Structure 1
């Protein structure tokens, strides 16, 4: 990762961790991804954007496997997802072979624009819901 991308990554993730995620996580309409911490084993909740299509929820991670929630998924793929105030169980799978930029064109516009603007290592994640 270049020096520029490293600085951008640190600035964005610090903002998300300290300001964005705590605020967004409290909004009842916000989609939340609950993973199991790969080291702690504790539930970890992260606000995410994406779209449900049938029994599959699609999202694109801005930082690929540098994102803690992606690392947690790699260790424990069983997740919970809060959609429109209702919790769903599912199995999440990172898809490095998928084209994340093409996938973003199928997802909500505002979130996709943000992911494209701040992301440095885009990665598609597919969640098969029960």
Structure 2
């Protein structure tokens, strides 16, 4: 990673840590809950994405460097809170999916933020297959 990309990564992650601590508390914010790969504790990350059928799609702006991607690689069982309701599911990292094309199908504001904050070509698509979504 270039020096510029590393500086951008550090600046964006520092900003996101502060912002995410506020966003996690908002009842309407979509959250991805993973299990910490070291601590074993629940880790909640505000995310943007979209429900498509029985799956929730999102794009990680830091790809494999994202802590939640590292966590779900260790344990793909996750929960997603969408519109105030929690759903359990299994996450799948999709390195062969085109994240730029995927962003065009996700909420516009989030997609712009992911592109602006993403470092280099590290974008990575994640699909969460949700269990028992009936009634949503």
Pair in the same fold by TM > 0.5? yes
Unaligned runs of 5+ in 2: 132-136
Could you say which residue in structure 2 is the equivalent of 1:117?
A: 116
Give TM-score scaled by structure 1 length.
Answer: 0.98
Matched residue SS, 1:38: coil
With structure 2 as the length reference, what TM-score do the two structures score? 0.94
* CA distance in 2: counterparts of 1:104 and 1:5, whole angstroms: 21
Aligned residue number for residue 2 of structure 2: 2
Deviation at 1:84, TM superposition (A): 0.7
Query: Secondary structure of 1:106's match?
Result: coil
Alignment RMSD:
0.5
Partner of 1:49: 48
- TM-aligned CA deviation for residue 69 of structure 1: 0.1
- Structure 1 gaps of 5+ residues are none
Determine whether 1:83 maps to 2:88.
Answer: no
Distance 1:29 1:69 in 2: 20
The secondary structure found in structure 1 opposite 2:27 is coil
**Alignment of structure 1 residues 7-86 onto 2, 5 Å:** 7-17=7-17, 19-86=18-85
Moved runs in structure 1, 4+ residues, more than 3 A? Answer: none
Q: Deviations over 1:94-122 (max 9, x none)?
A: 10000000000000000000000110210
- Number of equivalences: 129
1:126 and 2:130 are equivalent in the alignment:
no
